[in-house]
Structure 1
């Protein structure tokens, strides 16, 4: 008799799970996801790219985006294939702009009830939380890394008011836990970013031994200064080395001044912000990718993941990266690149010299980096992982 009762209980539990899941199953309507984010393409950046690619890669999901109007948004939205609602926010200080975006976003959704509200940046969490509360939807917060160090109190506030959080790395998950100071938290899932695999990975090989860095030149933690300090050591072994730097920002002028003072302009090209085709060309022609990001005490946050390491790997490039923090989750030391002390120019130089002078070794690491991306970091795979998390959260929120 007891065994029959246990079977009945199991069947009842199974039926409950099935009934909760039914509305998202084949033959029923797709899960509805609302993304609330102040930054989104056509503006450039790692977060913008991640959010666009993820929402475009989610299987079986109806997605709507609430974001700010930016230059070129009409052409982008017309060709995106996504349902995007833009709100106007004036060009004012970041604090006021974020507040005004939250206010505008609250009135931007009507006639569409989401199952999950995804906060694409913690500065939008007041609006995303209130929208989720209004529609009794699940509230999920996306976390990247640096923004947590800049706004730890807001990150903790948003996390406490979510049903789940998604961190782009184990490092970022640790930053969220630290910001919460031991408070009871919802589940924090780690879902790494991805990349699109190029159709053609044929190498063009630049005429000179070429080291490539692609990073915004806004903060010193990306490692531009340490690479510049390492360059004279590399030149001693590889005199015609060429360091190509793609990216723009406030530290560029200082780096150019230092390069000129050290008589290194013949070995360095600061290209600034370039079109995607130009970036792709350099990724295909360079011999090594280098971005030794570090975590300095005088700068908030640091590298939360580093999608550009994956972009380099997808094109068969080995990377030189930091041996601490999030880069260690992307670059496998001695397998897909070389991890170094990012504060040590001699260590950085030694890694670059090894990869520039040992073509077979560099080719071996680059091929392994490509395979690693293919098997674990395509947007299709990442979209499936994210969908699984969101589906689980939506089912739990919907109740029996």
Structure 2
């Protein structure tokens, strides 16, 4: 099978994550595509379900080494690929000259939060400038990441391309309450956070704020959906309290049901390490809005691009547990306002973040 477009990416399912779902969504909507990505548990079964070829690197991480370059160049030549898309510009974008030599005529590089972080440090910035020099187009998620990237990437190469949301999958419940019932939470107000358990996402701040929320809404539940290296620390912080629930990692196919179990979505992300560890956008905010939930987000990095303060949710200082608790208690205690914010978010996502719009923009860049 020939492919006009080769996507070279470290971020691809079944590995979970927002970037992975973004790149997969682009691949699924691009005719004549092939993908080169790292191995991940369950990838063989996943790859069999795709209508395009997926070639797996034998390990879980690809770096711009000679071996990866040889394989990518071979795929360009074998498929006659005229366009190469790097799922994340750094660091695999360093392979671009080799792939042009193999026959690629156009190079498109996607960027996310970590490229914006690279642009902040002199050493990494010089590498990012070199990477961007090999591209025809470099995409950015929103105004925050564009401003950061402009320190290293020529402005005329920068084009906005943010993730789309499948509003058919992520949507308000047809039968309200069914998702809560399935999780044993029937009748209880639920704050849900869907994310990897890492410090930047702010689950620790949610747990710290939770006693104040419970003082206002005694039967509320905090539902933390996802796995990650911070789980043990978070469990210690929660102290086994019945109202804080951990699901662990869940399959992507099950995520809509977890969003639907919430009354409010919250992820008080924060910038760490002087801007090195920062949220690029936060697709979970968009998925929550598509589900009809009001969103409480940390005013950090690119998160404000995914939430309209006072219209689709509330932006808070992710470090201020008092401000966070007040926002959560306010929305849980005022279901009518929460409903209006959620409905406005659903309408906004359908109008400006649909996959049809994103796919059209992407195909124009190709």
TM exceeding 0.5: yes
Q: Give the Cα–Cα distance (whole angstroms) in 1 for the partners of residues 156 and 139 of structure 2.
A: 10
Match of 1:41 in 2: 13
Find out whether 1:368 has 2:339 as its counterpart. Answer: no
Q: Which runs of 5+ in 2 are unaligned?
A: 119-123, 181-185
Q: Which blocks of at least 5 consecutive residues in structure 1 are unaligned?
A: 1-29, 391-400
Change (3 A) 1:338 1:355: same
Distance in 1, matches of 2:333 and 2:360, equals 40
> Matched residues in 2 for 1:278 and 1:87: separation?
27
Aligned pair partner of 1:290 in 266, 271, 280: 266
After TM superposition, list the pairs within 5 Å mapping 1:248-397 onto structure 2.
Answer: 248-260=227-239, 265-297=241-273, 300-390=276-366
Select 2:142's aligned residue among 160, 169, 188.
Answer: 169
The match for 1:113 is 80
Aligned CA-pair RMSD? 2.2
With over 3 angstroms needed to count, the CA separation of the structure-2 counterparts of 1:63 and 1:136, relative to structure 1, is closer
Across the two proteins, how many residue pairs are aligned to each other? Answer: 348
Once the two structures are superposed, the pairs formed by residues 209-220 of structure 1 within 5 Å of their partners are: 209-218=189-198, 220=199
Residues 371 and 160 of structure 1, relative CA distance in 2, 3 Å threshold: same
Q: Which residue of structure 2 lines up, in the alignment, with residue 72 of structure 1?
A: 42
Equivalent of 2:214, from 235, 244, 249?
235
Task: Find out whether 1:201 has 2:189 as its counterpart.
Answer: no
| Greater shift in the superposed pair: 227-236 or 269-278 | 269-278
How far residue 98 of structure 1 moved from its aligned partner, in angstroms, is: 5.3
Q: Secondary structure at the match of 2:223?
A: strand
Deviations for 1:270-292, whole angstroms, at most 9, x for unmatched residues?
Answer: 11101235432221121000001
What SS class does the counterpart of residue 34 from structure 1 fall into? Answer: strand
When normalised by structure 1's length, the TM-score is 0.81
Preserved CA contact (<8 Å) 1:320 1:337? yes
1:395 corresponds to: none
Match of 1:189 in 2: 159
Greater Cα radius of gyration, structure 1 or 2: 1
Does the Cα contact within 8 Å between 1:116 and 1:137 map onto a contact in 2?
yes
Could you list the per-position Cα deviations for residues 164-186 of structure 1 after superposition, in whole angstroms to 9, with x for gaps in the alignment?
Answer: 101122222222223x1xx7455
TM-aligned CA deviation for residue 103 of structure 1:
4.5
Deviations 1:68-111 (A, max 9, x none): 2333222212211112223323x6xx6x8553534432333333
Residue 299 of structure 1, CA deviation: 6.3
Q: Normalising by structure 2, what TM-score? A: 0.88
Which residue number corresponds to residue 28 of structure 2? 56
Conserved? CA contact 1:141–1:158, under 8 Å: no
Question: Quick one: distance in 1 between partners of 2:200 and 2:37?
Answer: 28
Give the match for residue 183 of structure 2. Answer: none
1:87 counterpart residue number: 57
- SS of the residue 1:280 aligns to: helix
Take 1:127 and 1:47, find their aligned partners in 2: how far apart are those partners? 20
